[in-house]
Amino acid sequence: MKISFLLHNAYGIGGTITTTFNLAQALAERHEVEIVSVLRHRERPNFTLDPRVTLRPLVDLRHEKEDPRHLRPARVFPRAEYRYQQYSELTDQRIGECLASIDADVVIGTRPGLNVHLALQAPSHVARVGQEHLTLDNHPPALRTTLRRAYRGLDVLTTVTEADAAAYRRKMRLPGVLVEALPNSVPDPVLPPSDGTAKIVVAAGRLVPVKRYDLLIEAFALVAAERPDWQLRIYGKGEEHDRLRRLIERLHLSDNVFLMGAAAPMEAEWVKGSIGAAASNFEPFGMTIVEAMRCGLPVVSTDCPYGPGEIIDDGADGRLVPVGDAQAMGAALLDLVRDDELRRTMGATAIRNAARRFAPGPVVEQAERLLGAATAARSSGTRPAAPGPARNRVQHALISQRFAVRDVAYTMASSALRTVRKGQR
């Protein structure tokens, strides 16, 4: 099978690039694989790519940034898409030409705007698979309207969580499109896992408001008050750095909490710790949670939409706490800090559970089944059916019910808040 990925910019840095490279390289073991990068701005990618995977750009910004066509707005790439300003008449033209002449059996889009191109412009013989790396609820209403129409031209749509797949099935109603969860994979570690003895909690990710590192620091103040020999190390860079530094100083945690800057790869830093932590208000998946678990760390995380609750088995390989609750997070961290045996047992379970679900092997097997279903359906002129082994229908129903209830709760809460505000005016 020849598989082509359509990617925004393979020469940049980001989670979608990492996961696309991981999946492409794993698929290259048994298939012919290429990555088509719409944009290119430097000579080589930041991430090393397996030589078995072909990489070709469509628009080289080093030479074509001032092309008159690139200065005119895109018409196919949806205006409501987050990256719209980086697309143009030139990218529309090059993507259209690429798809018209492509010799792949299946093309995989990796963001909403590219999925729209794929759904509208791919030749009839090509199987069309759209990937969603954010979530449906994260998209503005105007984009959801565009996707509801365009995505009917896809064969398969994959999300990174079952919860988001359930949201797409429930809210978008895409007849004939197979909507399935395909989690991101994390490569097999090369270093020995953590032994759980280091007095270090590790967190990693962009220093942005949604990650709530302020809440994590406040939670760790409870740990430091009882166990001043423990540290919290936060890896990453971003707009929140200076505010977080001031918070650390205000809470007198300069000897306990450290902003470590960015680190790549993170594996060497995960194995230095004994507990992982994540405090986000929102996580489409939670790649750092899986990375930490694969390195032997139990993870304490907020149970935010959507990923952590599907990754962590609460009480077995980590802990889930309410969103925005610093006291609950601090208490959960202290439970693991105080109990060496619990920490080591959970860490060992985290390794097993993460490898079983998120290692390249099982994720690639699932991807191959979905791609096979899409290509078979395209060849026969039918719509793809869910490939075996069958999805756990009970789990799917429970997840759908859980998030349907959450949607209702959010709607009721918003309505109540509007009523209160109206009464205050």
Q: Which among 282, 224, 292 is positioned nearest to 258, based on CA atoms?
A: 224
Return the amino acid letter for 129.
V
Which position has the higher pLDDT, 415 or 5?
Answer: 5
pLDDT at 392 over 80: no
What's the pLDDT tens digit per position in 73-86?
Answer: 999 999 999 999 99
Helix (H) or strand (E) holding 270: helix 267-270
Q: Which pLDDT does position 389 carry in this prediction?
A: 53
pLDDT at 412 over 60: no
Q: What percent of the chain has pLDDT above 70?
A: 91
Domains, the chain, in order of start with CATH, read 2-184+374-380 (3.40.50.2000), 200-358 (3.40.50.2000)
Q: What is the mean pLDDT of the chain?
A: 90
| C-alpha pair distances (Å), 169 with each of 146, 148, 229, 328, 397 | 16, 11, 49, 33, 12
Strands laid side by side in the 156-159 sheet: 53-60, 32-40, 2-7, 106-109, 127-132, 156-159, 178-181
Q: Which pLDDT does position 423 carry in this prediction?
A: 40
Of 41-55, 183-197, 411-425, minimum mean pLDDT range:
411-425
Of 46-50, 106-110, 135-139, minimum mean pLDDT range:
46-50
- Find out whether the peptide bond into 265 is cis, omega within 30 degrees of 0: yes
What's the pLDDT tens digit per position in 86-96?
Answer: 999 999 999 99
CB 152 within 8 A of CB 179: no
pLDDT at 414 over 80: no
pLDDT at 398 over 50: no
All residues at 6 or more sequence positions from 293 whose CB lies less than 8 Å from its CB, including other chains: 276, 299, 311, 312, 317, 318, 350, 351, 353, 354
Mean pLDDT of 352-372: 94
All residues at 6 or more sequence positions from 221 whose CB lies less than 8 Å from its CB, including other chains: 251, 253, 330
CA distance 217 to 165: 33
Whole-prediction pTM value?
Answer: 0.83
CA distance 239 to 302: 22
Q: Which pLDDT does position 404 carry in this prediction?
A: 44
All residues at 6 or more sequence positions from 230 whose CB lies less than 8 Å from its CB, including other chains: 199, 200, 201, 223, 224, 256, 337
What's the pLDDT tens digit per position in 245-293?
Answer: 999 999 999 999 999 998 878 999 999 999 999 999 999 999 999 999 9
CA distance 24 to 360: 11
Q: Which pLDDT does position 90 carry in this prediction?
A: 98
pLDDT at 425 over 90: no
What's the pLDDT tens digit per position in 280-339?
Answer: 999 999 999 999 999 999 999 999 998 999 999 999 999 999 999 999 999 999 999 999
